[in-house]
Amino acid sequence: MSKLKFVRHPHPAPTPADKRAQLLANPGFGRVFSDHMVTIRYSEGKGWHDARIEQRRPIEMDPASAVLHYAQEVFEGLKAYKTADGGATMFRPRENAKRFRQSAERLAMPELPEEDFLEAIDQLVSIDRDWIPDGDHGSLYIRPFMFANEIFLGVKPSSEYLFIVIASSVGSYFKSGADAVSVWVSPDYTRAAPGGTGAAKCGGNYAASLIAQAEAHKHGCDQVVFLDAAERKWVEELGGMNVFFVFNDGTMSTPPLGGTILPGITRSSLLTLAKDKGIKVREERYSYDQWKADAGSGKLREAFACGTAAVVTPIGTVRAPEGEFKIGNGGSGARTEELKTALVDIQRCRAPDRHKWIHRVF
């Protein structure tokens, strides 16, 4: 139980039902927002306080707010789903609460207790329940984040923070829907170095990845794939997704967590589901050269990206400055589809929740 008292100030003029229905008909990703937000403040000496649920609105910031200068900010991303009986669920939200604490620790920020994080997202999903889209591809994407709010121009951990949760009604992440995506192997840019912030979900990681993502688009690819910073050899992850490889002997592999990649909750869930199915998965380094050779020889059958936003998305084409190669037939594969179905069926409450991953909001 959260020890904070959440004070509710419902929106005095929420979006009318017909306007909301229009917005939910084709929401895209990250552009349609619900009516409310949750805020919790932190100040040194006082701790976490002033928890509120109120109408979503612009926040006033002093131009000297620390985050605007030194980027002390962390965030999370998870989805709420509508159930057949009109309820709402979330998938492993405590894992997000835990990763949020770990990200905060790496950025020298105060840790928000997991119970407060969970209560905040539950409160928002409850009050904005009508913003969860229907249908198999729709969900309410929850974005908890916190940033340094002290008014001070000095490089030191802030003494004040603001934690906010907003929500966005979303459809599929990739415009191409379920088709396989193409990825660009960035020759010039890396995402995270040993000892850096790669395992934290902080805004700065994404700011640094944008130029590589723009380069991927310029080369006609959907996403960038990063190699390691030390040797520029090992496949790490995509701009916003982890990656798995499927081999012709039935085994799979995924790059190991070692501080430079984000410990994805989808990644961890797929490792468990694969083990349940008796599939051998190695958490082991895999080089770009080997990837190319194995795709050419047929040893590599499938590759897929995974994350909350993209769920499980097959990788069909890998492009680099020296050329490109296809994986399998360039589309999805049987193992990718099997694991995706197993995951989505649990998330959508169509399959038994053996691992107790489903959190019922109401």
Ligand X SMILES: Cc1ncc(COP(=O)(O)O)c(C=O)c1O
Looking at the Cβ atoms of 127 and 216, the one nearer to ligand X is 216
42 versus 141: smaller Cβ distance to ligand X: 141
C-alpha closest to that of 360 among 24, 86, 34: 86
Q: What backbone torsions phi and psi does residue 296 show, to the nearest 5 degrees?
A: -70, -40
Of residues 23-82, those binding ligand X (CB under 6 A): 77
What's the distance, CA 299 to chain centroid? 30
Residue in the structure block whose two tokens are 């399959």: 351
Q: Is the CB of 2 or the CB of 242 nearer to ligand X?
A: 242
213 makes contact with ligand X (CB under 6 A): no
Query: Going by DSSP bridges, is the β-strand pair 73-75/358-360 parallel, antiparallel, or unpaired?
Result: unpaired
Query: Rounded distance, CA 348 to CA 69, Å?
Result: 41
Cα–Cα dist 354/362, whole Å: 20
Per DSSP bridges, beta strands 252-254 and 242-247 are antiparallel
Q: Which of residues 120-179 bind ligand X (CB under 6 A)?
A: none
Q: CB nearer to ligand X: give 70 or 226.
A: 226
264 binds ligand X (CB under 6 A): yes
Compute how many other C-beta atoms are within 10 angstroms of the C-beta atom of residue 334. Answer: 11
The one segment of 143-151, 152-160, 259-267, 345-353 that binds ligand X by CB under 6 A = 259-267
Amino acid at 52: R
Residues in region 290-349 near ligand X by CB under 6 A: 307-308
- Least separation, in Å, of the C-beta of 196 and ligand X? 13
Comparing CB distances to ligand X, the nearer of 93 and 328 is 93
Q: How many residues bind ligand X (CB under 6 A)?
A: 12
Binding ligand X by CB under 6 A: which of 149, 168, 260, 266? 266
Kindly list the distances between the CA atom of residue 359 and the CA atoms of 25, 268, 347, in Å, as whole numbers in the listed order.
26, 17, 10
Coil, strand or helix: which one is 57? coil
**Nearest approach, Cβ of residue 199 and ligand X (Å):** 10
The owner of tokens 């929106």 is 11
Element (H, E) at 33: strand 32-33
- Is the Cβ of residue 264 or residue 314 nearer to ligand X in the bound state? 264
Tell me whether residue 128 or residue 236 sits nearer to ligand X (CB atom).
236
Between 39 and 197, name the residue whose CB sits nearer to ligand X. 197
**The only residue of 122, 237, 294, 302 in contact with ligand X, by rule CB under 6 A:** 237
Shortest spacing between CB 76 and ligand X, in angstroms? 8
Q: How far is the CB of 310 from ligand X (least distance, A)?
A: 8
Verify binding: residue 93, ligand X, rule CB under 6 A.
no
Q: How far apart are CA 328 and CA 300, in angstroms?
A: 8
Residue 265 in contact with ligand X, rule: CB under 6 A = yes
The yes or no reply on residue 273 touching ligand X (CB under 6 A) is: no
Of 21-29, 64-72, 151-159, 258-266: span binding ligand X (CB under 6 A): 258-266
* AA letter at 299: K
CB of 285 to ligand X, least distance (A): 17
DSSP per-residue codes, 227-287: EPTTTS-BEEEESS-EEEEEETTS-EEEPPPSSSS---HHHHHHHHHHHHTT--EEE---B
- Separation between Cα atoms, residue 54 and residue 10, nearest integer Å: 6
The least distance separating ligand X from the CB of residue 44, rounded to whole angstroms, comes to: 29
In terms of CB distance, is 66 or 90 closer to ligand X?
A: 90
Tokens linked to 52: 């509120």
Judged by CB under 6 A, the stretch of 50-58, 111-119, 260-268, 272-280 that binds ligand X is 260-268
| Residues making contact with ligand X (CB under 6 A) | 77, 237, 240-242, 262, 264-267, 307-308
